[in-house]
Every structure is written in C-alpha cells, then in structure tokens.
A and B are shown apart, each in its own frame.
Chain A
Amino acid sequence: MLTTTPNLTRPDDSYAALIAAHDGLTEAESHALNARLILILMNEVGDHATIAEAIRTARETTGSAA
C-alpha cells in the first residue's frame, strides 16, 4: 500500500539534500545519480505491489513536462 499522506520526518531537509546531491554534476552524472537513488529506494520499499503502485502514480501524475 503506497503512502501518499505526509510521511517525511524532515521534508525541507530531505528535499534540500536531494538537490544538493546534484551540485557540480553534469546532466549525465545527475541522471545516473537519480537512477542509483531510485534503485536504492526501491530496495528499501521492497514490496513489489507498493513499487508498482508508486510507478503507476508517478506515471499518472500530470507534470509540467506533460
């Protein structure tokens, strides 16, 4: 079951850490970092149904790039 209600203990710090992780990286390096990060978080979640729901949710969320 995917958690979509607030669950981050320190949302501002976590978000800032995510952005800071990309400092000084080329676009290619940033993409690679994102991919590694997704895989690490995917393993943290573990449960396939939850991961599949997260993927579906991300895919269905209309973004500015859409």
Chain B
Amino acid sequence: MTIQQRYDLAFTLYPYAHSPDQDAPGPRRHKVVVVGGGPIGLAMALDLGRRGVPVLLLDDHEGVGAGSRAICFAKRTLEICDRLGAAGPMLDKGVVWNVGKVFHDDRLLYEFNLLPEDGHAFPAFINLQQPWFEKFLHDAILQAQAAGAPIEIRGRNRVDAVTHDDNGALLDVTTPDGPYQIAADWLIACDGARSPLRSMLGLNFDGRVFEDNFLIADVRMNAPFPTERWFWFEPHFRSGDSALLHKQPDGIWRIDFQLGWNIDRKHELEPANIRRRVDAMLGPDVEYDLVWTSIYTFQCRRMERFCHGRVIFAGDAAHQVSPFGARGANSGIQDVDNLGWKLAAVINGNAPDRLLDSYDAERVQAADENILNSTRSTDFITPKSTVSKLFRNAVLDLAAQLPFARTIVNSGRLSLPCTHDGSALNGPDDPSLPMRSRPGSPCPDAPTPEGWLLNRLSPGFTLLTIDADAPDTTVAHGQTIPRLALTAADNPALASRYLGDAASAVYLIRPDQHVAARWQAHDAPAIATALARALSLEPAGC
C-alpha cells in the first residue's frame, strides 16, 4: 500500500524516516499519539511536550500543505501561541489592519476603524497564511525538542484503522516501508473536518449544511494597495451574495467570492473566469498575479461529544463552522489550550480522568457559541427568506447614514474566546469584581512594570494577587502554586480589568489562563477548595 500525496506542500518539515517501532515484534506503546499535522495537531504536540508529556504526532504528509486557507488569527490564539513559544515570528510576519469598508452592490456604505483596546501584548488579530502559522508552530517544536521536550513527529505515517478500549487505542499505520502498529494510552484526533478517525470509529457529525461554494483567489498586487478589509454584500460584479478582500503578508491579497450552490467548479476555476471577477472587483487599472485559487464549501456542525473514552477529538475534526468570523483554526487552538493541561494532569496523576469531562463540556459550549455566531453571520450575508432579505437590506440602507445600524451589519464577528460560565471547574466569584474576568473567563492581558501579565503567569496554576496579602506559594492537592503579586496603583488597565471598584483581589488562574475563582482577599481554605474543584478532585455538583 502506498501513501498518496493528497495535496502539495508549502514546506517539507518532517520527511519520512524509518522508525525502530516498525521493526518491533509487537506494537510499541506510546503515552499520547496525536493524529494530524495541521495547526491543531502541531499545537497539541507542542503543548503536551512542553508539559513533559511524551507525545508522538503522526501525519500522512511530510509537512505543511500549500494554500493560504485560514488566514485570520485572533488575539487569544496569539496569546496561546505565546505561551507555547511560537507567537513572536507570527506577529513579526502577520499583517495588522484596522480600517474596513463595507459595500452594497456598487455603493460604499461606510468605513470603520476597529480602534483596538490599549494595554494588550497582541492585536485583536493578524492576517497570516496558514502555512506560515504552521511553520512557526513547527519551529517552536524544534526549539522545544532541543530543550528536551519529548515530542516526536513521523511524516508519511497514515492511520488506516483504529480500535480502542478503556486502556487506550491500537492503530494500524501505513508507511512507505509498509504497515506497522502503534499502541497509545491516549489518542488525540486532530485530523481535520473530514476526520478519517471519526469515520473509522463510526461517530456522527451532525449539523446544518449550507449550500454554498466559495472561490478563493490569492493575488499579488503589482502596485501599492491599501491595507484594508473590503466586504461586499450582493456585489455588482456577478458573485453571489458576498465578496471579501483582505491583505496577507508578502504583498498578497486574499479574495473570497461567494458563488452559490449550483456552479460548474471547473469553469469557475478557469484563470480567465477568475480574472474577470477580480478585474470587476478591483477596477480596470490594478495589475496583479493569481497566486493560488481554490473552491470550498462549508458546514456548521459538531460531534455530540469530543471525548470517546481515551480517544479525544480537537479542532475541525470535532466541530466545523462557516468561515465568517475566523472561528475554525482559532477555536481549535483554544481546544488545545483547554486540553493540554488537563490531559497532562491526568497522565501525571494529579487529577482523575473525569477532569477530561470538563474539556468536553467547555469546548462543546465554545463550539456551540462559535456555530451560533458563524450561523448568524451566514444568515445575515445570505438571507434565507424574503422577509429576512428585506430586513437585511433595510439594515444596509440605514447603515449608509445612521451609525446605529452599523452595529447590526454582520459580515463575520471577531472571534473571541468563550467564557465558560457554569463550568464544573469554576469556583466562587465575587460579583463586585469586573464581569470580564469572572470565573470561566480567559484572563485579559494587561501591562505590568515587569512585562505583560499573561507572560508572567506560570505554566501551571497561578495565584494572582492585586494589592492583597498572600503567601508566596500555595501548596495544596499536590500542586505548588506560585503567587504573582501586582499592584493596581498607576495601572488603570489592570485596575479596570481585575479590580473594578474593589480595593484588592485574589485570582486563582488555571494553566490555560482562564479564571478558576476569585475573592477580594486571600483565604487559604477557600483557595484549596477551589483548586480541588478546578482539578475535578471533587465530583461535580458537590
């Protein structure tokens, strides 16, 4: 059996190498096997490896696929990548934009400036081609490996069959040298929207199918062109319901044309036909080269559960959304953020297996939020009834003149991380502290005299104190938790994000930088109880 290349590579990063496992008399056992070398699989391996958990990543290719694909990486993703040691090059190469224009037919309705909030290490998002995002994650893996992180990647290792039980999974792997078997205590499926593992296990993937095709054209402009996001509703150049133009690094602009359902793919992908659309969009005098083109469809759906015994799904394999709002890769990276510390705690014996139930609960909650948001954008862009189109166009007509209506215009909402309200891991809240940092929230970043707040959190739990007394370390339930002591004096960003009107605050922060519990003053027994809850040491609901 051979391994077919399903797609061209942008970067060859991990060429096939024969592993001693292939010559072993029986299947070698691995602690964690990650299947899929996309952004989610790479980040998963990196997170676990940096936590000292031995991880083997299997990919049926030898590197990163070509094509820009996901190009919009949100602040939370960059913060997570920063924790993983990968964000610097992303920020250096990525494009930041703040000005957008919204068109209807041939009319400019309005311009906007995102005016991002000050006091964050990272912008609201960057535009960066997915291959670069993946390459920078892989660079961070190489650095982590050099520092001793137990990460191994095997290229051209395709999983063709899987069985699993209470102790783990057994994989049939095909390589250029023939088949072999691997046993895994834990199997993480990061193998994308068409997840072969999901199919092999016969698990369903239900949701709403949108009958639409999108044509992507990446073009290199041969003359200066503004770094702005242009979005058209019902564009005058014949192109279905919408079109989107925004900038990527290296002088490349990304254009998405919504084509509708009944199309002739071959005809639409003819360069002359693509050029006709692009010419109509950009105007007659703009010179450009076509760099990459593709047609894709999408669905909004998710698995019922992401954890199936010792097989865990993450990223598009677990949930899929429309492209509006950039919630695909961004939510997958948050899956990694949520799962990494929990699986490490279970494997290291610091938490019971049921801690992983909270991965399921929290990330299903996030997937539903993402699906809701992206479905609303899709329904605004492509109204599904006469009356919804009537209202949509009324919003656009008003938006040209009245600022209030611009808040209703929905061409994709900025991808924001989910706040896990109601999570079984959440401890007590003090409601006089600010809403935005309540238990379940991702910690908002803030400047401190010694650097960015998120950068100063520990890889494990952290006790953040603001103008509050506490011991320098907290020891409870096998954890030694460092204290990060800050003052809000002369730090309005920190005060508004963590104190509100209170004089002091104590936050117990999870390893994924989400707030577990908070108080106005230090309370050792309460902190120990909250820690037990955040590790699922006590059954949920007690």
B390 pairs with A31, CB closer than 8 A: yes
A39 CB-CB contact with B under 8 Å: yes
Hey, which chain A residues are within 8 Å of B408, CB to CB?
39
Is B287 at the interface (CB under 8 A from chain A)? no
B405 at interface (Cβ–Cβ under 8 A)?
A: yes
Contact B390 A39 (CB under 8 A): no
Closest B residue to A36 using CB positions: B394
User: In the docked arrangement, what's the CA distance between A35 and B398, Å?
Assistant: 10
Q: Which residues A21-57 have CB closer than 8 A to chain B?
A: 31-32, 35-36, 38-40, 43
A28 to B408, CA, bound (A): 22
B397, A32: Cβ atoms closer than 8 Å: yes
Contact indicator per residue, chain B 18-47, by CB within 8 Å of chain A (1) or not (0) = 000000000000000000000000000000
State which of B390, B402, B404 has its C-beta within 8 Å of the C-beta of A32.
B390
Residue contact A40 to B390, C-beta cutoff 8 Å: no
How distant is B501 from chain A, measured CB to nearest CB, in Å?
24
A36 to B397 alpha-carbon distance, docked (Å) = 8
Number of interface residues of A (CB under 8 A): 8
Determine chain A's interface SS by DSSP, over half rule. Answer: helix
Nearest residue, chain A, Cβ from B391: A35
- Chain A interface residues toward B at CB < 8 A: 31-32, 35-36, 38-40, 43
Q: In this complex, what residue of A is CB-closest to B403?
A: A43
- Scoring B390, B394, B395 by chain A CB atoms within 10 A of each residue's CB, the highest score goes to B394
Q: A35, B404: Cβ atoms under 8 Å?
A: no
- Which of B377-415 touch A at CB < 8 Å? 390-391, 393-395, 397-398, 402, 404-405, 408
A39 to B390, CA, bound (A): 12
Closest A residue, CB atoms, query B407: A43
Interface residue tally on B, bucketed by range: 10 to 19
Count CB-based A-B contacts (< 8 Å): 24
Q: Is the CB of A40 within 8 A of B397?
A: no
Determine the residue in chain A with the shortest Cβ distance to B394.
Answer: A35
Q: Which residues of A contact B398 (CB under 8 A)?
A: 36, 39-40
For the complex, what is the distance from the CA of A40 to the CA of B398, rounded to whole Å? 9
Query: Which secondary structure dominates chain B's binding surface?
Result: helix
- Determine the distance from Cα of A43 to Cα of B486 in the docked complex, in whole angstroms: 41
Shortest A65–chain B CB gap in Å is 14
Do B393 and A39 touch (CB < 8 A)? no
CB distance from A18 to the nearest CB of B (A): 16
The residue in chain A whose Cβ has the minimal distance to the Cβ of B404 is: A43
Taking the closest CB of chain A, its distance from the CB of B390, in whole angstroms, is 5
In the complex, what's the smallest C-beta–C-beta distance from A7 to chain B, in angstroms? 22
Structural contact, B405 and A35, CB atoms closer than 8 A: no
6 contacts between A and B (CB under 8 A): A32-B394, A35-B391, A36-B398, A38-B391, A39-B405, A40-B402
Q: How far is the CA of A35 from the CA of B397 in the complex (A)?
A: 10
A-chain residues with CB within 8 Å of residue B397 when the two chains form the complex:
32, 36
Task: Tell me, rounded to whole Å, the shortest Cβ–Cβ distance linking A25 to chain B.
Answer: 14
Minimum distance in angstroms from B438 CB to a CB of chain A: 20
Map CB proximity to A onto B401-432 as digits: 1 under 8 Å, 0 otherwise: 01011001000000000000000000000000
Q: Which residues of B have CB within 8 Å of A31?
A: 390
CB distance from B395 to the nearest CB of A (A): 6
- Distance between Cα atoms of A40 and B401 in the complex (Å): 12
Chain A contacts of B394 at CB under 8 A? Answer: 32, 35-36, 38-39
> Separation in Å of the A31 CB from the closest CB of chain B?
6
* Nearest chain A CB to B410 CB, angstrom units: 13
Contacts of A40 on B, CB cut-off 8 Å? Answer: 398, 402
How many angstroms between the C-alpha atoms of A35 and B390 in the bound complex? Answer: 7
Shortest beta-carbon distance, A44 to chain B, in Å? 9
**Please, how many angstroms separate the alpha-carbon atoms of A6 and B312 in the complex?**
58
Contact between B393 and A32, CB atoms less than 8 A apart: yes
- The docked-state distance in angstroms from the alpha carbon of A32 to that of B390 is 6
Write the nearest CB–CB distance from B486 to chain A, whole angstroms.
36
- A39: chain B residues at CB < 8 Å are 391, 394-395, 398, 405, 408
Which residue of chain A has its CB nearest to the CB of B402?
A40
Give Cα distance in the complex from A31 to B388, angstroms. 12
Residues from chain B with Cβ under 8 Å of A32 in the complex = 390, 393-394, 397
Q: In the docked arrangement, what's the CA distance between A27 and B391, Å? A: 15
